[in-house]
Amino acid sequence: MINFRLLYTLILVITVCSCNSTPQVKSLVHTVDEFNALVPKLQPGDSIVLANGVWQNAELLFEGKGSADKPIKLTVEEKGKVTLEGASNLQLAGEYLIVEGLVFKNGHTPTNAVISFRKSKSELANNSRLTECVIDNYNNPERQVQDYWITIYGKNNRIDHNHIVGKKNLGVTMIVGLDTKESIANNHVIDHNYFGPRPTYGNNGGETLRIGTSHNALENSNTLVESNYFDRCNGEHEIISNKSCQNTFKYNTFFECTGTLTMRHGNETMVDGNVFIGNGKPSTGGVRVINEKQTVINNYHVGLTGYRFRGAFVMMNGVPNSPPNRYVPVIDSKVSNNTFINCDHIQLCAGSDAERSQAPRTSEISENIFYNDHKKNLFTVYDDISGISFKNNILGENLETDISEGFENSEIKLEKNEQGLLIPKSDKIKNEVSISPKIATKENTGVAWYSKADSFVALNSGKVIKVEPGINTIYEASKDSKPGDILELTSGQTYLLTKAAEVKHPLTIKSSSQEKAVILFERMMAFEILNGGSLSLNNLKFDGASSPDYAGNSVISTSKKSMTENYKLFIENCEFENFTVNHSFDVLRVAKGTFADTISIQNSKFKNITGHIAALDTETDDIGAYNVEYFIMKNNILTDVQGAALRLYRGGKDESTFGPFLEIDHNVFDNVGHGSKNKYGTAISLYGVQVNDIENNIFNNSKGITMHLVVGEPIVNVVNNNFYKSNELVVTGDEKYNVENNWSVDPIFKPESFMLSDASPLKGKATDKKDLGIISGN
């Protein structure tokens, strides 16, 4: 029988030649040693082929000198069937090299980059191409260890049709480096790549693409970024961080990205023909302009909700005589022929403060179209706009602005184009709005042979597993569960955990009917959320009667190790009581290096607890890091809690992130915060929280709220709260805040209840016209 694999290998190494040409060799290799032995022998036109299979811990150096008509190629036997895993990476060095078909997954780079266009600072790759490669969730397990996925050096390189998804540890996904003269004025082209979802990092260092750094801000990079698809790239508010001169961004699509294309440093940037789609998602933004001679033209924006530095369009104030690495004022810049459909915020002179005191000069905003069917005024002006010339801008007929000239109202109708985008039509629109056929789509970017389907599994999306009462039945069921499964406990029955249940994936635990199942536990925690886990608890009762006297007790804890995966925690209609075996028994305890997208506690009761309900204060390096993006506490009763209901901390003045977002609404805090071990000395302790909505709460015989405002322009609304025999709000820091209708009257509860009696002066006093404190149903 013919050995076809051997035959194929022989065919690959056959020399194809003619009398007048150099032999070209295509060689199949099966090991790193074979690869390393072959590389020094490569000649122009040769190809090296990685055999199908898993290449474990493969550190590859691909170097050689091809030519324009005979590049040297690194490829794979079959696309999608070769993966580099474990501690693998790739370096390129030389001329006219092509790399295609590699897949990096199930591991992380052992160096500072997965793929780098250089061997050393003096040995770079030029005139080379990276195409149809995949980097998929190839993350260092330590969240705060920095690395990059693709670092581009040299000149005239093309990076195209790659699939790059799921970066979760510290570090920019792709960088263009300008740290040597051999990489300046590089003329790189970055096109048709699919940049898949990058979750919120919760600190600086989560950009998707950066060109240059503050150290070479005035160097020309001449990089073209064209027709790339940025899909939910939410690492931080600079999706793209432009930090060099003369770069062009054209025909890219930004889909539900919470951030902006930011001209952070460098001049003469061209932003032309891009599409920004927010779909009403929070914090989605467009373009942010800083520095000189910037051009923003022909861009289309729809459904963007971001404010401040994440607005649909942001023109910043600058620092007078600024060094290149601060905020160079906007000068000689043009913003023209852009379209904004149902976008919420246009920010002019943003960031104005004592340092950033220079308003834009000799700049123009002209012939733009603004339509919004749910707002009247989109424009926020923070400083003097006399240096901006406004000309021939069109507003929808319901919009208004305080800007005195350069705007005209018009009746606008919206029509869907063939791409499904809403195009404004009006007799007053001189230049018809059109989307370039070169615009990036999910379908025309990345690779055809690797799925773009979300790997995310939602809570409550799996099967229902009935769990019998008893010892460790929850533990066994959670161990055997699959992502999205629901553990259904028998209502009214008791469950005992002598082992902490590990939550390794999205998992829901709930009672089978209205009466709550009771959970006791004999370890220092009932549930430990591990990397990849999320937890939803519904209609359960937790009792501390069986809990041991261990230091560091909590009902729920995150892993003590760093977690690259963001988690979610939902507590709905649950009861927690009698956690008093020692002086510091918390409900939720989190570790440094962990981050929650959402923690929601609603319609629940907490009674006789010596520790804190949620202590989210382990990121204490004061560099802008924090533990949760959205924290919601709504319609809960907390009584006889010796610790704080909440401690939420974000230290430092870094402006790369806009969280945490806090909502505390319709709660009763009764005898909360008085414990001698409550180091915060308050019922709610907030430090550096950037969005604070605290409304309709009753503090009864409790400590109050302390709030320290750090980052510029936080949103603070403390409205319609009652502090009876309680400490009130104390605010420090020099930022503005809004406090309205804080009372200190006897709430007059119903007997043995925290519902208001008919005689209460707080009846109907909430912002939603309901009663203050809890609303019916709890």
Question: If we measure between CA atoms, which residue out of 517, 539, 525 comes closest to residue 497?
Answer: 525
Lowest mean pLDDT across 3-7, 413-417, 544-548? 3-7
Domain boundaries, position 411: 261-439
- Domain end call among 412, 439, 466: 439
222 with 292, same domain: the answer is: no
669 with 688, same domain: the answer is: yes
192 with 58, same domain: the answer is: yes
Instruction: State mean pLDDT over 673-696.
Output: 95
Question: If we measure between CA atoms, which residue out of 368, 373, 351, 369 comes closest to residue 360?
Answer: 351
Instruction: State mean pLDDT over 528-542.
Output: 98
Q: Is the pLDDT of residue 688 over 50?
A: yes
637 with 751, same domain: the answer is: yes
Q: How confident is the model at residue 15 (pLDDT cuts 50, 70, 90)?
A: very low
pLDDT at 1: 39
196 with 233, same domain: the answer is: yes
pLDDT at 23: 63
Q: Cα 209 to the chain's mean position, in Å?
A: 14
For the chain, the average pLDDT equals: 94
660 with 734, same domain: the answer is: yes
pTM to 2 decimal places: 0.93
Question: If we measure between CA atoms, which residue out of 647, 572, 576, 636 comes closest to residue 608?
Answer: 576
Residue 38: DSSP 8-state: H
Give the number of C-alpha atoms closer than 13 A to the C-alpha of residue 125, restricted to the C-beta side. 31
Q: How confident is the model at residue 657 (pLDDT cuts 50, 70, 90)?
A: confident
Tokens of 342: 């149902």
CATH label of the domain that carries residue 315: 2.160.20.10
283 with 379, same domain: the answer is: yes
Rounded CA-CA distance 174/165 in Å is 11
Residue 386: DSSP 8-state: T
The reply to whether 130 falls in a domain is: yes
Instruction: State mean pLDDT over 121-145.
Output: 97
**In DSSP terms, which residues pair with 470 in a beta bridge?**
495
Q: Is the pLDDT of residue 694 over 60?
A: yes
Instruction: State mean pLDDT over 701-730.
Output: 93
39 with 173, same domain: the answer is: yes
pLDDT at 777: 57
- Domain end call among 415, 439, 463: 439
pLDDT at 713: 81
Percentage above 70 pLDDT, the chain: 97
Q: Is the pLDDT of residue 3 over 50?
A: no
171 with 189, same domain: the answer is: yes
| Residue 127 and residue 157 in contact, taking contact as beta carbons nearer than 8 Å | yes
219 with 291, same domain: the answer is: no
Q: Is the pLDDT of residue 552 over 90?
A: no
52 with 140, same domain: the answer is: yes
Q: Is the pLDDT of residue 19 over 70?
A: no
The reply to whether 113 falls in a domain is: yes
Instruction: State mean pLDDT over 505-533.
Output: 97
Rounded CA-CA distance 642/623 in Å is 30
Instruction: State mean pLDDT over 9-26.
Output: 50
pLDDT at 11: 40
Instruction: State mean pLDDT over 83-89.
Output: 98
Percentage above 90 pLDDT, the chain: 90
The reply to whether 47 falls in a domain is: yes
Instruction: State mean pLDDT over 76-94.
Output: 98
pLDDT at 778: 58
Question: If we measure between CA atoms, which residue out of 295, 452, 265 comes closest to residue 365?
Answer: 295
Instruction: State mean pLDDT over 442-463.
Output: 95
Number of domains in the chain: 3
pLDDT at 2: 41
| Unique residue bearing structure tokens 């199908």 | 52
215 with 87, same domain: the answer is: yes
